[in-house]
Structure 1
């Protein structure tokens, strides 16, 4: 095997690219959601589960995936997630009945969870310490990149080859990266793996993780971010001129990516990851207030996502910064997955319910409450960490 295939840079890029497949498990439904509603007919509010059902597994099993990663190894967990995702997407490409499609989305949640726990932990493990911030900032763009790419290419693809074509392309993508990563990721020594925990041990692990100001901090802040990310992608474009919708749907996540990679990476050289997260949420509050003052516009929607881009990368960079041990990092990324799925699952229904009230202040107020809560929580946990270090 050529040496460059085992270089840390190539492995990190391959892990990130594989992670795009996990983000596309959401994007492949959200971007063509109106077309799917038309295909399945009168399914009413149940059609929303096509988006959110994938989150249900992660809501309950996020930390369990972190425990499994410790037991079976990150490499095996990642490859299992990629292959399962490929098989599920290949089945979805046949456009099965509505109930069968919902079931496939639930099972797909297992694939998504495995990837988003294993990949960032492997990226942190592969990167040299001085490059960890940049590498995990890159990882933090995976959702935005996937949504932008799918938004740009899905309309032409399904227009030419039908709705099932998008799922088929996704299946081939996942299988391709499963094969690539099987070659480039070294096989770890699994001797001396800890004994499998009992259900009681797992319950106690949840308590210890979420009571730790080090392990829990990235995940608890991430909850407030994910409460708004997917919901804003679904809600803001329809509030604009129809001629701008396709452009804005792609531009919003791209603005977050550019902000994360350019400004976020630069800030992480001088500031702690938590400081960058707090700055991103603070700027997002300013943009939310601007939505009240000036109304929804393409420029403000894109600027809001640029501010949230600082939160993306810095949240993942906070995991190794706050947790030097590999088991703690796996649990922290499990917490990120769990809180992210809770946010993705609850955020869109909450935002839509607020919009039905017909008050123009409702959505911006929801954003201000979420982002203010995130700042307050991060500052509180930072104070607890300082006290723990002093003790």
Structure 2
């Protein structure tokens, strides 16, 4: 199989994993009514998808190469299918929680392994473009999940709708295992020497870049999580507020196109990283300016995500370079997953608590400050030389 079909399969795995975020958003009213769950419990179940990434992202990046990234991705698809099947059979909170944690493990392995496989499969001159494509998997997956599972539930019920995850997960796992078998037949001899995963090291550029991404996620996910509440309180109907929120999330897709074009000018990339965050930071107060016309708030939120999405796409494009070597790319992906998932977990409660204590304007100012911090970290990351994998002066992390 040539490079781009393989890349497309890996990308589909990411979209399918991210669709499990949109799935629970679409099915939440039906699940909460059937299982007698409150709003807080449903929100907790939704956020559980990021728990494994926040806790185990670094460990997954370090040890997955020993198991095999493509094989691991196939088992991740099986875990997502198994979790969905378990949720469909659940009669109470405990089994739903266990099922969601199973999906969380599948999501973790997907977001660590798939970008490494994409970067490895892509031709060197197209690697940055392939990685910016990968950066769109969350908004595309969330949009697909929210639409597809709502339609499936409308045709049956929320339990049968989970069957969509079971079918797609099994199909993707079978395809990945077939690709793995073909690869092993074509190159049956494994590379000589020990697997380098346990000896990998990370340098300052990677730590600064993933920290910047984590701070970015705090603000960006916080805005998306609170956007429906903000717009409905400003006077929009819930359906219209949801449509604007989806548009804001999908703004990352055209942002990735901008990012892909910027990678053709390597000298401009460090400034583009910072500029993207500063522009989005300046827009956050407008997006949180409660009292302004609701459409103005919605448009500001869409533009905020468009601007910050350029940063996200460039981070994924830069990941192979800041990793320092192909052997360290899995570890770099794990670190990025851990910081991004931590930001996604902490962002909504952090920004929500600021709104409750100090108002919407204070939330906008906080997101502006977070964007400035992220911009500083990104700038210092781009200014430092990449660490090499054989740098004996650095300690393993």
What TM-score comes out, normalization by structure 2 length?
0.86
The count of corresponding residues between Structure 1 and Structure 2 is 374
Q: Structure 1 residues 329, 115: closer, same or farther in 2, change over 3 A? A: same
1:313 pairs with 2:313: yes
Per-residue CA deviations over 1:259-281 (Å, capped at 9, x if unaligned) read 212x1111111135544332221
Q: Is the 8 A contact 1:73 1:190 kept in 2?
A: no
1:23 is aligned to: 18
For 2:373 and 2:162, how far apart are their aligned partners in 1? 37
Return 265-274 or 56-65, whichever deviates more: 265-274
Q: Is the 8 A contact 1:85 1:111 kept in 2?
A: yes
Where does 1:370-381 land on structure 2 (aligned, <5 Å)? 370-381=370-381
Return 267-276 or 359-368, whichever deviates more: 267-276
Which of 198, 206, 212 in structure 2 is aligned with 1:215? 206
- Give the unaligned 5+ runs of structure 2: none
1:3 is aligned to: none
Which of 248, 256, 259 in structure 1 is aligned with 2:255? 259
Which of 281, 286, 290 in structure 1 is aligned with 2:286? 290
Q: Structure 1 residues 359, 167: closer, same or farther in 2, change over 3 A? A: same
Which of 64, 69, 73 in structure 1 is aligned with 2:64? 69
Return 53-62 or 134-143, whichever deviates more: 53-62
State the Cα distance separating 1:45 from its structure 2 match: 3.1
2:150 is aligned to: 155
Q: Is the 8 A contact 1:280 1:310 kept in 2?
A: yes
Q: Structure 1 residues 274, 162: closer, same or farther in 2, change over 3 A? A: farther
Where does 1:111-130 land on structure 2 (aligned, <5 Å)? 111-130=106-125
What TM-score comes out, normalization by structure 1 length?
0.87
Q: RMSD of the alignment, in Å?
A: 2.6
Where does 1:214-293 land on structure 2 (aligned, <5 Å)? 214-240=205-231, 241-242=236-237, 243-261=239-257, 263-271=258-266, 273-291=269-287
Q: Is the 8 A contact 1:30 1:234 kept in 2?
A: no
- Give the unaligned 5+ runs of structure 1: 1-5
State the Cα distance separating 1:342 from its structure 2 match: 0.9
For 2:4 and 2:196, how far apart are their aligned partners in 1? 33
For 1:228 and 1:173, how far apart are their aligned partners in 2? 32
For 1:346 and 1:124, how far apart are their aligned partners in 2? 29
State the Cα distance separating 1:331 from its structure 2 match: 0.5
For 1:47 and 1:64, how far apart are their aligned partners in 2? 28
Per-residue CA deviations over 1:95-147 (Å, capped at 9, x if unaligned) read 44112111222232211111111100010000111101110000000001011
For 1:284 and 1:348, how far apart are their aligned partners in 2? 18
For 1:386 and 1:120, how far apart are their aligned partners in 2? 19
Q: Structure 1 residues 387, 85: closer, same or farther in 2, change over 3 A? A: closer
Q: Is the 8 A contact 2:324 2:386 kept in 1?
A: no
State the Cα distance separating 1:62 from its structure 2 match: 0.8
For 1:195 and 1:314, how far apart are their aligned partners in 2? 29
Q: Is the 8 A contact 2:20 2:142 kept in 1?
A: no
